[in-house]
Amino acid sequence: EAEVAQSPRYKITEKSQAVAFWCDPISGHATLYWYRQILGQGPELLVQFQDESVVDDSQLPKDRFSAERLKGVDSTLKIQPAELGDSAMYLCASSVGSSYNSPLHFGNGTRLTVT
Amino acid sequence: AQSVTQLGSHVSVSEGALVLLRCNYSSSVPPYLFWYVQYPNQGLQLLLKYTTGATLVKGINGFEAEFKKSETSFHLTKPSAHMSDAAEYFCAVIHTGANSKLTFGKGITLSVRP
């Protein structure tokens, strides 16, 4: 079964440094999501793409976070500068269409630790 | 607005015992409801979903859930727990209106005792 690929699996960085995460969705999935999951909580949506366009980034801290999906396929999430509170699991997911009629398929995530 | 409430953060059962994980939702329009499972250091995997039609939904690994509109609930059950069921379980809701997005509960950690 096709999977959502994410890298790296683990990242340790010092505060104020820049960090980037990469996601390759399942082939043919037009919708791509980035979620942040703080330990002990459920995932929270950071940004949603439909093809290469952002359709929801209302919860993305835009002063330090950026996301792009230039060719409508893979995506990069960047944090600059990283803060201690950014330590979390960053999950990428994809779906064929909008999520209420198309279930999300998640990658294994990138666990970020900011020291 | 929409939300889900998962009461308690941890459930412990013996192997072979009934598993019951509770989820209550709030939605102003008809919801779609989901249960996801997350094993340590992995992403979320869909267990089952309710969209429309039959209110008793069967999923993978022997799990099932029943949508009860009168109780605004979507509890997850499994008749007999297995050691491999130990994981974190998330209930999620999305409404079928415009600009909807999937909202997750805080999750429940299931432990299975030998």
Alpha-carbon Rg of chain B, whole angstroms? 14
The token pair that represents B71 in the structure block? 């109780």
DSSP letter assigned to residue B43? -
Whether the CB of A38 is below 8 Å from some CB of chain B: the reply is no
pLDDT value at A4 more than 70: yes
Q: What's the average model confidence in pLDDT over A89-114?
A: 90
* Whether B102 and A41 lie within 8 Å, measured CB to CB: no
The alpha carbon dihedral of A27, A99, B40, A35 has a sign of: positive
Whether the CB of A107 is below 8 Å from some CB of chain B: the reply is yes
Among A6, A42, A106, select the one facing B105 at the smallest CB separation: A42
Whether the CB of B99 is below 8 Å from some CB of chain A: the reply is yes
Q: Could you list the mean pLDDT of each consecutive 10-residue stretch along chain B, which spans 114 residues?
A: 87 97 87 92 90 91 94 96 96 81 93 96
Q: Which of B6, B27, B102 to mutate to test the interface with A (most CBs of A within 10 A)?
A: B102
Whether the CB of A26 is below 8 Å from some CB of chain B: the reply is no
C-beta neighbour count of B74 within 10 angstroms: 28
- Determine the pLDDT at residue A84: 97
Rounded CA-CA distance B19/B13 in Å is: 7
Cβ atoms of residues A56 and A50 within 8 Å:
no
Closest of A10, A57, A52 to residue B42, by C-alpha: A10
How do residues A67-100 score in pLDDT, each as one tens digit?
999 888 999 999 999 999 999 999 999 999 876 7
- Determine the pLDDT at residue B40: 86
**Helical residues (DSSP H) of B6-81, grouped into ranges:** none
